[in-house]
Structure formats: C-alpha cells, structure tokens
Structure 1
Amino acid sequence: MDNDVSAGNTSTSTLGHLALGLTLLAFGIGHTGAVGGVTAADAVSLALYVGGIALFVAGLLEFRAGNGFTGTAFAGLGAFWFTWGAGADARVSDHAAGLFLLLWALFALTLTLGAAGRGLLGQGTYGLLFVALLLLGIGQFADSGFLTKAGGWLAALAGLAAWYGATAALAHWPTTVPRRAAGRGATATG
C-alpha cells in the first residue's frame, strides 16, 4: 500500500487500511444494490465508528510515528466517514450531498497524487476512491441511478484493494508484481 505496509509490518497503518477497506466495501456495496435490502444507509454505523473514529485515531498515531502521508490519509478519511455517518439522517438536498461528495473527491485526488512512488496498490486504492466519489457526487446532482451504482462498484473495488494490502501485510503475501525482462534472452546493460 505504501512504505508503511510492507509484508510483515503489523503497524497502525495495517489496521488503518483494514478499517478503510471494510468501510469502503460496505459503503460501495450499499450503493450498488447488489445485495437485496442493503443500502448505503446500512453502512452508517460502520462508517461512523470504524471508518470515522478508528481511522481518525490511526491517522493520529501515524502522525505521531512521523508518517505524514499515511497520517493525512487516515485522519482525513476518518473525518470524511465520521461526517458522512453523523449526517446520514440529516435532510439535505441532492445538490448539497453531491457537493459534499465532490469536495471529498478532491481530497481523494490529492491522496492519489501524493501516493505516487508509494506503490501501485496504494495509489490505485486512492485513485479508485477518487473516481467513485466523483461518480457518486455527479450521480447526486444528476439523480442518476446508473452513476450511483458505478460509483458504488468502484468504491467496493477500492475497499477490496485496501483490504488486500492490509491482509497481504499480515499474511506475508506479495503487494507488487515482479518485473520481468523485456523478452527472451534480454539482459541488462550498464
């Protein structure tokens, strides 16, 4: 996921990525309508406590350990999930909800750009989150069920990526694809 989540490291970064992954999975699946009777509103408790509070605390611990990027990602996303979960019962217009999601999409874009050089899995997670929030926000403005479902699927994929990265760190699974030489008989020149 990033430099903090390498195979064998069981730091707060791993716990934070698990919290992010589980919350994104519940949030995303709820928006897809793939499971009968399950909506995004059913993810409110998970978003509030696991995605909000636990992820925010993991972010603070990452800041304390000197990991500025991971601290920013976890504390910021913890604030997103807490705000989303706490405001779930509030009556807001579709445009206000869309604006909320679009503003947080900008935060996810910042994380995507900031994750450059930290591994494709981490950058992919934040990139998928960015596109998911973008589609969900536009879907709110346009009252489009199709965009909402597409955003939900991308959020679920981002959740799977975050979950895999954390699980890989605990289970000593690979998080990168080994590079192969350009072709048969290729050698490095130097």
Structure 2
Amino acid sequence: MPVTNPAPLGLFGFATTTWLLSMINAGLFPGTSVPMVLAMAIAFGGTAQFAAGLMEVRNGNTFGFVAFCSYGAFWWSFALFVELFAKGVPGDFVGWYLFVWGVFTFAMWIASFALNRAVFLIFLALWITFVLLAFGIWLGAPALTHAGGYTGLLTALFAAYLAAADVINATHGRTILPVGAKAA
C-alpha cells in the first residue's frame, strides 16, 4: 500500500501563512490585517503543518517531521503571542524570538544540503528572513523589516513551488516541475 506524501500539505500551509505575514512585514498592508494572518496561522500554518509533520514519522523522514512540527508550532506560538501575551513584552525580546527561530532555521538549512535544491532555497531564504526581521526590531530599522518581509515573500514562493511540484509530479507520475538535484 503506497504511503501518501504529507510534504505538500505542510509546504502549502507554510507558504500561504508566510505569504500573508510577509506582505505586512514588507509594508504592503497595514498591521490591522494581522487577524487574518492569525486565523491562517492557527488553522493552516500551525495545525495542517503540524499534522503533516506527524505524518512524516511513518515515512521515516526526520527532516520533514522536525521541520513541519516545529514551524507548525511557530505559527501557533506566533498567534498565541499576538493575541494573548504581546502586551508589555519589550520589542527587543521579540527580536530575540525571531533570532532564535533564525538559529533553528540555520541548522535546518545546513541539514537541507542533503536534500533537493528547492528545499535548500526555502531554508536559506527563511533563515535570512528571520535575521532581517530580528535586526529590524533591534535596530529600529523599518527598512530591514521591509527587507525581511520581501525575503519572506520569496521564501513563500519557493515553498509554494515545491508544494505544487510535489503534487503535480506525483499526480502525473513524472517530473513536470523540477525541484533540482541535491544542494551538496
């Protein structure tokens, strides 16, 4: 019996939620748009992505398990923070939150060297996104936050492409959208 690939579910959950938040970070939409991001973060970015991570266990995919469960938890924590705990938290500590996720993402990027080029690009762009957003907060530099937003949009595009490639290629039984050879 074939086992379903949960990666496209997790990737689409990540891509769509990252896209929405990154539009705000890039300055394309006002902060009043955050409630829509939070709804997406809980339902698709968090829950669907976490479920995809749990399904990666049966495939023996440690990378997929750790990535999808971790970033699913990131979206839950982001939504919880904004809705319940943000009041009174110093801005520079929010920078540390983003930086810590950047450090985690850097480790995942190193691990992605053994995977295809598309995964490698997702984690490279995401690592840069977190670092730009953290420094944007620490330095009070909206230009860095906007750059982080645009890098987040690029990250979301890479993730959406890989998700689409996984679904389209599997459905057609052949490579229609290439994902590139291993990065390393």
Aligned counterpart for 1:162 among listed residues 159, 162, 180: 159
Report the CA distance shift for 1:137/1:65 in structure 2 as closer, same or farther (over 3 A).
Answer: same
Verify the 8 A CA contact 2:26 2:150 in the aligned structure 1. yes
| 1:83-130 CA-partner distances (Å, limit 9, x unpaired) | 011111322211111000000001111111011121111011011000
1:5 counterpart residue number: none
Partner AA of 1:136 in structure 2: L
Q: CA deviation at 1:35?
A: 3.8
Partner AA of 1:18 in structure 2: F
Compare 60-69 and 98-107 and name the one that shifted more.
60-69
| 1:38-76 CA-partner distances (Å, limit 9, x unpaired) | 645541111122111211111111123211111110011
The answer as to 2:64 corresponding to 1:85 is no
C-alpha distance in structure 2 between counterparts of 1:26 and 1:138, whole Å: 21
1:56 counterpart residue number: 50
Gaps spanning 5+ residues in structure 1: where?
1-8, 179-190
Verify the 8 A CA contact 1:62 1:70 in the aligned structure 2. yes
Structure-2-length-normalised TM-score:
0.85
Report the CA distance shift for 1:153/1:38 in structure 2 as closer, same or farther (over 3 A).
Answer: farther
C-alpha distance in structure 2 between counterparts of 1:36 and 1:93, whole Å: 21
Structure number with higher helix proportion = 2
Verify the 8 A CA contact 1:30 1:42 in the aligned structure 2. no
Gaps spanning 5+ residues in structure 2: where?
170-175
1:30 counterpart residue number: 24
Verify the 8 A CA contact 1:58 1:75 in the aligned structure 2. yes
Partner AA of 2:39 in structure 1: S
C-alpha distance in structure 2 between counterparts of 1:118 and 1:64, whole Å: 19
Aligned residues: 170
C-alpha distance in structure 1 between counterparts of 2:146 and 2:32, whole Å: 13
Aligned-partner SS, 1:87: helix
Partner AA of 2:164 in structure 1: T
Sequence identity, in percent?
27
Partner AA of 1:118 in structure 2: L
Verify the 8 A CA contact 1:31 1:39 in the aligned structure 2. no
Q: CA deviation at 1:27?
A: 1.4
Question: What is the CA RMSD across the aligned residues, in angstroms?
Answer: 1.9
Structure-1-length-normalised TM-score:
0.83
1:129 counterpart residue number: 126
Of structures 1 and 2, the one scoring higher in RCO (CA 8 A, sep 6+) is 1
Q: CA deviation at 1:175?
A: 2.3
C-alpha distance in structure 2 between counterparts of 1:157 and 1:38, whole Å: 23
